Chains A and B, each alone.
Chain A
Amino acid sequence: MVNVTINGIAVRVPEGTTIMEAAAKAGITIPSLCYLKEINEIGACRVCCVEIEGESRLVSSCNNLVYEGMVVYTNSPRARQARRINVELLLSQHDSTCATCVRSGNCKLQHVANDLGILRNPYPQDLPKGLWTTTFPLFRDPKKCIKCMRCVQYCEKIQSLGIWEMTGSGSRATIDVTYNRRIKEADCALCGQCITHCPVGALRERDDTSEVLDALADPDKITVVQIAPAVRAAWGESLGLPRELATVRRLAAALRSMGFDYIFDTTFSADLTIMEEAAEFLKRFSSGELNEYPMFTSCCPGWVRFLKSQYPQLVPYLSTAKSPQQMFGAVTKSYFAEQLGVSPDKICCVSIMPCLAKKAEKNGHMYVKQTNSIQDVDIALTTREMDRLIRSENINVSSLPEAEFDSPLGVGSGAGVIFGATGGVMEAALRTAYHSVTGTNPSPDAFRTVRGQEGWREAEFNMNGVVVRCAVASGLANARHLIEAVLAGQVHYDFVEIMACPGGCVGGGGQPIPFEQTEQAEIRGELLYKLDRLSPLRYSHENPEIKTLYHEYLGEPLSERAEELLHTDHNSWTMPLSLRLQMQNTEDTTIHFGET
Chain B
Amino acid sequence: MSRLSLETPNQAQTVVESLYKDLERRIAASPPGLCPVDISLGFLKLCHAQTCGKCSPCRIGLGQLARLMDDILSERATLDTIDRIEKTAKTIVDTADCAIGYEAANMVLRGVQGFRDDYVEHVTNNRCTSGLTQPVPCVALCPAHVDVPGYISLVRAGRYEDAVKLIRKDNPFPTACAFVCEHPCEARCRRNMVDDAVNICGIKHFAVTHALHVAPVANQPSTGKRIAIIGGGPGGLSCAFYLQLMGHHTVVYEQRPQLGGMLRYGIPRYRLPEDMLNNDIDVILSTGVEVHTDVSVGRDIPFREIEEQYDAVFLCIGAHIDRKIGIPGESSIGVVSAVEMLRDIGEGNPPDFTGKRVCVIGGGNVSMDATRTALRLGAASVTTVYRRRIDDMTALSEEIEEAAAEGATILPLQAPVRIECNEDGHVSALITQPQQIGPVGRDGRPKPISANKPEQAIPCDIVIVAIGQGIDSKPFNAAGVATNRDRISALPDSFVEGSPKVFAGGDAVTGPSTVIRAIAAGKVAAANIDNFLGYNHVIHAAVQDIPEASLSPAPACGRVNLRTRPACECVTNFDDIKEPMTEDEVLQEASRCLRCDHYGYGNFRGGRMRQW
Which residues in window 147-176 of A have CB below 8 A to B?
149, 165-172, 176
Are A65's CB and B548's CB within 8 A?
yes
- Determine if A52 and B538 form an interchain contact, defined as CB atoms under 8 angstroms apart: no
Best-surrounded residue of A131, A167, A584, A593 (most CB of chain B within 10 A)? A593
CB contact list, B523-551 vs A, under 8 A? 535-543, 548, 551
A49 to chain B, nearest CB (A): 11
CB of B404 closer than 8 Å to a CB of A = no
Of B19-27, B122-130, B406-414, B471-479, the segment with at least 4 beta carbons within 8 Å of chain A is B122-130
Asked whether, in the complex, the Cβ of A55 is within 8 Å of the Cβ of B552, the reply is yes
Mark A55-69 against chain B: 1 for CB-CB distance below 8 A, else 0.
111010001110000
User: CA A59 – CA B603 in complex, angstroms?
Assistant: 14
B572-611 contacts to A, CB under 8 A, are: 603-605, 611
The smallest beta-carbon distance between B539 and chain A, in angstroms, is 5
Which of A39-47, A364-372, A463-471 participates in binding chain B?
A39-47
B74, closest chain A residue (CB): A129
Across the interface, B215 reaches (CB within 8 A) one of A44, A65, A149, A596, namely A596
- B387 interfacial contact with A, CB 8 Å: no
Hey, which chain B residues are within 8 Å of A169, CB to CB?
33-35, 38, 128, 130, 132
Q: Which residues of B are found within 8 Å of A41, using beta-carbon distances?
A: 603
Q: Which residue of B lies closest to A16 (CB)?
A: B548
A287 within 8 A of B: no
Task: Give the interface residue-count category, chain B.
Answer: 35 or more
Instruction: Give the docked Cα–Cα distance between A42 and B35 (Å).
Output: 22
A591 pairs with B246, CB closer than 8 A = yes
How many contacting A-B pairs (Cβ < 8 A)? 111
CA distance A585 to B247 in the complex (A): 19
B283 to chain A, nearest CB (A): 12
- Nearest-Cβ distance from residue A553 to partner chain B, whole angstroms: 52
- Which A residues between 8 and 64 are near B, CB-CB below 8 angstroms? 41-44, 52, 55-57, 59, 63-64
Q: Report the separation of the CA atoms of residues A585 and B536 in the bound assembly, to the nearest whole angstrom.
A: 9
Q: Are A167 and B536 in contact (CB under 8 A)?
A: no
Q: Are B126 and A131 in contact (CB under 8 A)?
A: yes
| Interface 1/0 per residue, B217-233 and A, CB below 8 Å | 11010000000000000
User: What separation, in Å, do the CA atoms of A596 and B287 have in the docked complex?
Assistant: 12
Q: A59-B551, A591-B245 are in contact. Are A168 and B540 (CB under 8 A)?
A: no
A596-B537 CB under 8 A given contacts A43-B603, A56-B555, A169-B132: no
The 8 Å CB contact of A170, one of B38, B168, B542, B604, is B38
Task: Answer yes or no: B401 CB below 8 A from chain A CBs.
Answer: no
Most buried by A among B541, B551, B605: B551
Is B282 part of the binding interface, using a Cβ–Cβ cutoff of 8 Å? no
Q: Which residues on B sit within 8 Å (CB–CB) of A591? A: 217, 220, 245-246, 537-540
Nearest opposing residue in chain B for A65, CB measure: B548
List the B side residues contacting A56 at CB < 8 Å. 552-553, 555
Residue of B nearest to A587 (CB): B536
Given A65-B548, A176-B127, A593 contacting B543 (CB threshold 8 A): yes
Given contacts A149-B604, A172-B73, contact A167 B537 (CB under 8 A): no
Q: In the complex the two chains form, what is the Cα distance from A593 to B544 in whole Å?
A: 10
Q: Which of B126, B215, B216 has the most CB of A within 10 A?
A: B126
Indicate whether A168 sits within 8 Å of B611 (C-beta atoms), given known contacts A56-B553, A596-B215, A596-B217: no
B36 to chain A, nearest CB (A): 10
The complex places the Cα of A299 from the Cα of B295 at a distance, in Å, of 66
Q: Judge whether A180 is part of the interface by a CB distance below 8 angstroms.
A: yes
Cβ contact within 8 Å between B542 and A594: yes
B35 touching A170, Cβ below 8 Å: yes
Query: Is residue B165 within 8 Å, beta carbon to beta carbon, of the partner chain?
Result: yes
Query: When chains A and B are docked, how far (Å) is the Cα of A593 from the Cα of B220?
Result: 11
Separation of A169 and B135 alpha carbons in the complex (Å): 12
Q: State the Cβ distance, A233 to closest chain B Cβ, in Å.
A: 34
B405 within 8 Å of A (CB atoms): no
A65 to B548, CA, bound (A): 8
Residue of A nearest to B33 (CB): A169
Q: How far is the CA of A64 from the CA of B541 in the complex (A)?
A: 23
The answer to the question of B396 belonging to the interface, with a C-beta cut-off of 8 Å to chain A, is no
Tell yes or no: B39 within 8 A of A by CB: yes
Contact A172 to B551, CB < 8 A, known contacts A589-B537, A592-B540, A593-B168 = no
Is the pair B551, A55 in contact by a Cβ cutoff of 8 Å? yes
Interface string of A572-596 (1 = CB under 8 A from B): 0000000000001101011111111
Residues of B within 8 A of A122 (CB): none
Taking CB atoms and an 8 Å cut-off, the chain A residues in 540-589 that contact chain B are 584-585, 587, 589
Complex interface: chain A residues within 8 A of B347 (CB): none
* Whole-angstrom distance between the Cβ of A402 and the nearest chain B Cβ: 49
Q: Once the chains bind, are A168 and B128 in contact (CB under 8 Å)? A: yes
**Of all chain A residues, which has the CB nearest B129?**
A180
* Across-interface contacts of A64 in B (CB, < 8 A): 551
**Chain A 165-198: CB-based contact to B (< 8 A → 1; otherwise 0):** 1111111100010001000000000000000000
CB A186 to nearest CB in B, in angstroms, measures 14
B543: A residues at CB distance < 8 A: 593-594
Collect the chain A residues with CB atoms within 8 Å of residue B156's CB: none
> Can you list, as one digit per residue, whether each of B117-154 has a CB less than 8 Å from chain A (1) or not (0)?
00001000111111110000000000000000000000
Q: Which of B221-264 contact A (CB under 8 A)?
A: 245-247
User: Is B169 close to A, CB under 8 A?
Assistant: yes
Q: Which residue of B lies closest to A178 (CB)?
A: B131
Instruction: Tell me how far the C-beta of A144 lies from the nearest C-beta in chain B, rounded to whole angstroms.
Output: 17
Within the complex, what minimum Cβ distance (angstroms) separates A54 from chain B? Answer: 8
Query: A130 at interface (Cβ–Cβ under 8 A)?
Result: yes
- The distance from the CB of A271 to the nearest CB of chain B, in whole angstroms, is 45
> Once the chains bind, are A584 and B75 in contact (CB under 8 Å)?
no
Across the interface, which residues of A come within 8 angstroms of B605, CB to CB? 166
Please pick, from B35, B217, B551, the residue contacting A52 in the complex, using a CB distance under 8 A.
B551
Cβ contact within 8 Å between B165 and A593 = yes
Cα A149 to Cα B73 with chains together (Å): 22
Beta-carbon contact of A590 and B128 below 8 Å = no
Instruction: Give the contacting residue for B126; candidates A57, A130, A165; CB below 8 A.
Output: A130
Q: Is A594 touching B548 in the complex (CB atoms < 8 A)?
A: no
For B555, give the chain A residue with the smallest CB separation: A56
For residue B57, give the distance in angstroms from its CB to the closest CB of chain A. 27
Contacts of A593 in B (CB 8 A): 165-166, 168-169, 216-217, 539-543
Chain A residues, Cβ within 8 Å of B535: 589
How far is B132's CA from A149's CA once the two chains are assembled, in angstroms?
Answer: 15
Cβ-closest chain A residue relative to B221: A589
Q: Mark A287-301, 1 if CB is under 8 A from B, else 0.
A: 000000000000000
A19: nearest residue on chain B (CB-CB)? B551
Q: CA–CA, A131 to B604, complex, Å?
A: 26
Tell me how far the C-beta of B129 lies from the nearest C-beta in chain A, rounded to whole angstroms: 8
Decide if A589 touches B125 in the complex (CB within 8 Å): no
How far apart sit A170 and B42, CA to CA, in the bound complex (Å)?
10
Query: Which of the residues B34, B130, B542, B603 comes within 8 Å of A592, measured between beta carbons?
Result: B542
Q: How far apart are B598's CB and chain A's nearest CB, in angstroms?
A: 8
* Minimum CB–CB distance for A50 against chain B, Å: 10
Residues on the A chain within 8 Å of B127, using CB: 167-168, 176, 180
How many Å lie between the Cα of A587 and that of B121 in the bound state?
Answer: 40
CB-defined contacts of B541 to chain A, threshold 8 Å: 593
Q: Contact flags (1/0) for B92-122 with A, using CB distance below 8 Å?
A: 0000000000000000000000000000010
Asked if B34 and A596 make an inter-chain contact with CB atoms under 8 angstroms apart, the answer reads no
Instruction: List, in ascending order, chain B residues with CB within 8 A of A59's CB.
Output: 551-552
**Subset of 17 A-B contacts with CB under 8 Å:** A42-B603, A59-B552, A129-B75, A166-B604, A166-B605, A167-B128, A168-B127, A169-B34, A169-B38, A170-B34, A170-B42, A172-B35, A589-B246, A589-B535, A591-B246, A591-B537, A592-B542
5 smallest A-B Cβ distances: which pairs? A593-B542, A594-B542, A56-B552, A42-B604, A55-B552
Known contacts A180-B121, A595-B218, then 14 further A-B pairs from the complex at CB < 8 Å, ordered by chain A residue:
A56-B555, A57-B553, A59-B551, A59-B552, A65-B548, A129-B126, A172-B74, A180-B129, A587-B536, A589-B537, A589-B538, A593-B540, A596-B215, A596-B217
Binding site for B on A (CB under 8 A): 41-44, 52, 55-57, 59, 63-65, 129-131, 149, 165-172, 176, 180, 584-585, 587, 589-596
